[in-house]
Chains A and B, each alone.
Chain A
Amino acid sequence: DAGVIQSPRHEVTEMGQEVTLRCKPISGHDYLFWYRQTMMRGLELLIYFNNNVPIDDSGMPEDRFSAKMPNASFSTLKIQPSEPRDSAVYFCASSPTGQSAYTFGSGTRLTVV
């Protein structure tokens, strides 16, 4: 398996633009997680899915953030409109169960100018 695949690796966008981050989890993993990493706040869980269903989105900072998982092999995290404070590295991770090791993607470094 190629691991968790995220795209793009880097994204630079202007404030107010829509940004879409993509993730392909490992096949057979029932759980998918979106995390955000910043120097100030560390790693924060934004949302997670179990069997494509959103379970906990309490970490999503604002209504500007939305996430979907239309099928077991694809998830998106969308920010609309983007703001400079959204600049961070966004990680997707997947896990076979909710209590086992996570496999992380390489992340998307988002810069909003």
Chain B
Amino acid sequence: EAGVVQSPRYKIIEKKQPVAFWCNPISGHNTLYWYLQNLGQGPELLIRYENEEAVDDSQLPKDRFSAERLKGVDSTLKIQPAELGDSAVYLCASSRGSLGGNEQFFGPGTRLTVL
């Protein structure tokens, strides 16, 4: 079974530019998560989807961050405009969620560098 796919793996942009990350979860997983991970720290949840509904976006900085999961499968996380402090690894994870099981499977992440 294919794992969680993320692209791109690396992105370097200048501050104030927009950037987008894409995630395709494991087939059949209805719950999708976006996390931010700073160097030497654990992941911080940004947003959680159940199918196409964002059920927890309390930690998403909505002034510059947005996310969508229109058909309840793949998802896009966008930052506009990016700031220097947004440099981090952005992780996507998926789980079966309400279908049974809270084990989360992670993608390789996108490492963002804002110059």
Q: Do A and B truly interact? A: no
